[in-house]
Chains A and B, each alone.
Chain A
Amino acid sequence: MQRMIRTRGRSANRIRQSWDNRLFDALANTFLILLTIVTLYPLWFVLVASFTDYKLINAGTLLLYPRGFQVAGYKMVFADWRVWTGYANTLFYTVCGTAFGALVTILAGYAFSRKDLPGSGILMKLFIFTMYFGGGLIPTYLMIKNLGLLDTRLLMILQGSVSVHNVIVVRSFMRTNIPDELLDAATIDGCGNGTFFMSIVMPLSKAILAVMVLYIAVSHWNSYFNALIYLTDRYKYPLQVFLRQILLQTAENHELAEDVEAVMEMQQMVATIRYSIIVVSTAPILCLYPFIQKYFVKGVMIGSVKG
C-alpha cells in the first residue's frame, strides 16, 4: 500500500494531473484493488482453511491465516484410495493425451500454414464448421459405443486432445514465424518437406509447442464430463470424477472408518477434508502457473489473429 502511494506521488510530480484524471485514477485503482482481493481471498481462504482446526471451520470463522494449525484433513485425503487412483489416472491421461494432442495439432497446423497445398482450404473450412455445429451428446455417445471405445483408457486419452481452435492458433503462428523465403531457400538446397519440418520448422516453433502442451494438459487435467459419461469402471476414473464425489455428493465414503467413532469424526471433518482435497488437486497447476503464464498469454494473442 505504501509503495503504491509513493508511485502515485511520483507520477503526480511528473505531470500535474487535473482533478478529473485523478478521480478516474482513483476509481480505476480502487476497482483493481477490490478485484484483486475478491479474486485472491477465496483461493487464500481454501489454503488456510485446509490447515485449520476443524472446530473453527465448522463454526464458520473468517480466516486470514491458519489457526489451530493441523494437517488432519490432508491425512484423511491421502488415506483415501480414490485420491491416489484418481491422481495416477489423471497423470496418465494427461501425459499421453497431451503428447498425442500436441503432435497431431502441430503437424496439422504446419500443413495448414503452407500455401502450396491444394485442397487444404476446403479441409480447413470443414474443420472450422465443427466449431459451430456438432452432432451433440447422444450421437457422439453412440459413435463411441459403436467403435467399442466405451470404458477404455484409450478414449480418455484421445477425446478432447485435438481442438480446431488450437490447430488455427498453430497455423497463425507458423504463417507469421516461418517465412516463405526460408522454404524456398531450403527447397533450392534440395531439402524435402520432412527434413525442412524436422530441422527448421520444429526448432523455430518451440514457443507454440509449449503453448499447445500447456493448453491441452490443463484441459485434460480439469476435464470430468467425458469420464462421467464414458467410463463405468471406477478404477479408471480420473481425479476430477472422484473430486466430484468427495466435494459435492453428500454420501460420504466410510470404507476407511471401521468403528462408529471414526465415522463421527469423519463427519465432523467433512469441510476440512474438502478444503484439503481442493488444495491437493489444484496445487500442481496453480504452483506452475506463474512460471508458464507468459506462454498461455501468448497462445491467446496468437489465437486472436483473425484468419
Chain B
Amino acid sequence: MRNGRRGRRVKGFVNQQAAQKIRKRSKTWKLMKKNWLLYMFLLPAALYIAIFHYGPMYGLQIAFRDYKAVNGIWGSKWVGLKWITTFMDTPRFWMIFKNTLKISLYSLISFPFPIILAVFLNNVRNVRRKKFVQTVTYMPHFISTVVLVGMLSLFLSPRNGIVNMLAGLFGGPTDTYFMGRADYFSHIYVWSGIWQSMGWGSIIYVAALTGVDQELHDAAQVDGANKLQRIWHIDIPSILPTIIIMLILRLGSIMGVGYEKVYLMQNSLNITSSEVISTYVYKMGLQDQRFSYSAAIGLFNNVINFIVLIIANKTADKVSGSSLW
C-alpha cells in the first residue's frame, strides 16, 4: 500500500515535470512568435557577423589544404600541418617570431601609464584644470595611424626633423636616420603608441576612481595616512578589478601586433627588426599570393593569442576572482 502510494506520487511528479517542460516549450514558442520583430532586428548584425567573421573562419581550413582557386576550398588537397612546418623551417622564422614577441612584450610597459595618469588626474581638485588635461591627452587617440607615422617620419627626419635638431642642441649628432635604424624601431613603435593612447586609456580608470568610497579616504586621513599611502592602500585596491580585466584583454592580444602601424613604419633598412608575423602574412598572402601558407601562419598566431587569453583569464580568476567570463 505504501509502495503504491509512492509509485503514484513518483508518477505524478514525472507527469508534472513533463507538463512543465511542455508548458515551458510552448511559452518559448509563444515568446518567439510574439517577438518575431526583434529577430528581424538581429538579422542584419547576425548576417554581418556570419559573412565577415564566421565565413572566414570556415575558410580557415585552407591552412591545412593546398588551396588552388580553380579547385575551390573543398576540392583542394588536404596537406595537414605542412604549411606550419614550412613556416617554422624558413630561415626567417626565428627572426619574425622574436620580433613579434619582442614588440609585444615591450608594448606591455605601456599598460601602467594610463593608470598613473588617472591617479594623478584624480588628485587634481580644480575641475577646469582637470578637464583641460583630459581634453589634451585624449586628442592623439583621434589621429589616424597614417598621420601618426607621417608625423614620426617628419619629426625624426635626418634632414630637417626637430628631434635631430634637439639632439644637436645637446651636442649629439644631427643626422641620425631614426626611422631607418633597426635598433630604434621597437622604441619608436612603443613610445609613439604610449603618446597616442595613454590619455584615452585613462578614461576607464578615471571612471573607476570616481566610484571609490570617500569615507575610506576620510578615515585614512584621520589616521594620518598621506596621499601616496591612500592611493596605494585605497585607490589601487578599489580599481583592481578594472585593472585586471584590462590586463587580461591586453594579454589576449600578446602576439597581436597590429600590422597597420608596423607596416607603415617598415622600410628596407629596419626590416630585420620590424618584420612581424602579421606583416609577413600580408606579404606572403596578398603580394606573393601564397594563400594557404599565409593563412596557416595567421592561424598559428591566432591560436597562440587565444591560448594566452585563456590562460590569463584562468589565472586572474584563481588569483583575484575577477575574469572575463
Are A229 and B226 closer than 8 Å at their CB atoms? Answer: no
Task: Indicate if B160 sits at the interface (CB-CB under 8 A).
Answer: yes
Cα–Cα, bound, A35→B45 (Å)? 41
Contact partners of B42 in chain A: CB under 8 A: 107-108, 111-112, 120, 123
Task: Indicate if A176 sits at the interface (CB-CB under 8 A).
Answer: no
Task: Indicate if B31 sits at the interface (CB-CB under 8 A).
Answer: yes
Are B31 and A139 closer than 8 Å at their CB atoms? Answer: no
Q: Mark A296-307, 1 if CB is under 8 A from B, else 0.
A: 110011001010
Task: Indicate if A158 sits at the interface (CB-CB under 8 A).
Answer: yes
Q: Mark B19-53, 1 if CB is under 8 A from A, else 0.
A: 00000000010011011011101101110110111
Would you call the interface of chain B mostly helix, strand, loop, or mixed? helix
Task: Indicate if A285 sits at the interface (CB-CB under 8 A).
Answer: yes
Cα–Cα, bound, A170→B149 (Å)? 32
Cα–Cα, bound, A159→B51 (Å)? 10
Query: In whole Å, how far is A303's beta carbon from the nearest beta carbon of chain B?
Result: 8
Task: Indicate if B84 sits at the interface (CB-CB under 8 A).
Answer: no
Cα–Cα, bound, A103→B41 (Å)? 10
Cα–Cα, bound, A285→B31 (Å)? 45
Contact partners of A20 in chain B: CB under 8 A: 226-228
Are A306 and B245 closer than 8 Å at their CB atoms? Answer: yes
Contact partners of A282 in chain B: CB under 8 A: 142-144, 147
Which of A114, A194, A247 has the most CB atoms of chain B within a 10 A radius of its CB?
A: A247
Stretch at the interface among B2-10, B87-95, B99-107, B294-302: B294-302
Within 8 A of A (CB), among B144-181: 144-147, 149-151, 153-155, 157, 159-162, 164-166, 174
Task: Indicate if A188 sits at the interface (CB-CB under 8 A).
Answer: no
Query: In whole Å, how far is A56's beta carbon from the nearest beta carbon of chain B?
Result: 9
Within 8 A of B (CB), among A126-148: 126-127, 130, 132-143, 147
Q: Which one, A40, A59, A218, contacts B136 given CB within 8 A?
A: A40
Q: Which one, B49, B199, B245, B264, contacts A162 given CB within 8 A?
A: B49
Q: Which one, B136, B139, B260, contacts A224 given CB within 8 A?
A: B260
Query: In whole Å, how far is B319's beta carbon from the nearest beta carbon of chain A?
Result: 18
Q: Provided the pairs A36-B136, A39-B136, A117-B31 are in contact, do residues A104 and B44 lie with their beta carbons within 8 angstroms?
A: yes
Are A105 and B45 closer than 8 Å at their CB atoms? Answer: yes
Are B37 and A281 closer than 8 Å at their CB atoms? Answer: no
Interface Cβ pair total, 8 Å cutoff: 271
Cα–Cα, bound, A134→B153 (Å)? 32
Q: Provided the pairs A123-B46, A132-B306, A158-B48 are in contact, do residues A278 and B147 lie with their beta carbons within 8 angstroms?
A: yes
Contact partners of A58 in chain B: CB under 8 A: 159-160
Q: Which one, A28, A278, A293, contacts B123 given CB within 8 A?
A: A28
Contact partners of A43 in chain B: CB under 8 A: 139-140
Task: Indicate if A179 sits at the interface (CB-CB under 8 A).
Answer: no
Closest to B153 in A: A248
Task: Indicate if A61 sits at the interface (CB-CB under 8 A).
Answer: yes
Are A117 and B35 closer than 8 Å at their CB atoms? Answer: yes
Q: Which one, A25, A38, A135, A271, contacts B60 given CB within 8 A?
A: A135
Contact partners of A31 in chain B: CB under 8 A: 116, 120
Task: Indicate if B286 sits at the interface (CB-CB under 8 A).
Answer: yes
Within 8 A of A (CB), among B75-126: 116-117, 120-121, 123-126
Contact partners of B260 in chain A: CB under 8 A: 224-225
Q: Which one, B56, B252, B291, contacts A134 given CB within 8 A?
A: B56
Q: Provided the pairs A42-B151, A135-B55, A139-B295 are in contact, do residues A104 and B45 lie with their beta carbons within 8 angstroms?
A: yes
Task: Indicate if B255 sits at the interface (CB-CB under 8 A).
Answer: no
Which of B32, B39, B120 has the most CB atoms of chain A within a 10 A radius of its CB?
A: B120
Q: Mark B172-216, 1 if CB is under 8 A from A, else 0.
A: 001000000000000000000001001110011001100000000
Closest to B44 in A: A104
Are A289 and B139 closer than 8 Å at their CB atoms? Answer: yes
Task: Indicate if A290 sits at the interface (CB-CB under 8 A).
Answer: yes
Contact partners of B123 in chain A: CB under 8 A: 24-25, 28
Cα–Cα, bound, A105→B46 (Å)? 11
Are A247 and B146 closer than 8 Å at their CB atoms? Answer: yes
Contact partners of A141 in chain B: CB under 8 A: 285-286
Contact partners of B60 in chain A: CB under 8 A: 135-136, 139
Q: Which one, A32, A60, A296, contacts B133 given CB within 8 A?
A: A32
Task: Indicate if A7 sits at the interface (CB-CB under 8 A).
Answer: yes
Which of B48, B145, B146 has the most CB atoms of chain A within a 10 A radius of its CB?
A: B146
Closest to A240 in B: B146
Q: Provided the pairs A60-B164, A62-B165, A139-B62 are in contact, do residues A248 and B149 lie with their beta carbons within 8 angstroms?
A: yes
Contact partners of A112 in chain B: CB under 8 A: 42
In the assembled complex, 26 residue pairs joining A and B whose CB atoms fall closer than 8 Å, in A order, are: A31-B116, A40-B136, A46-B151, A62-B165, A104-B44, A108-B41, A117-B39, A119-B32, A123-B46, A126-B49, A134-B53, A136-B60, A136-B302, A137-B285, A137-B298, A138-B62, A139-B60, A139-B295, A140-B55, A194-B37, A222-B142, A224-B144, A229-B282, A247-B153, A289-B142, A293-B135
- Point out residues on A near B: beta carbons under 8 Å: 4, 7, 11, 18, 20-21, 24-25, 28-29, 31-32, 35-36, 38-40, 42-43, 45-46, 57-62, 103-105, 107-108, 110-112, 114, 116-120, 123, 126-127, 130, 132-143, 147, 158-159, 161-162, 164, 167, 192-194, 197, 218, 221-225, 229, 240, 243-244, 247-248, 271, 274-275, 278, 281-282, 285-286, 289-290, 293, 296-297, 300-301, 304, 306
The 7 closest A-B CB pairs, nearest first, are: A135-B56, A247-B150, A136-B298, A108-B45, A139-B59, A222-B144, A139-B56
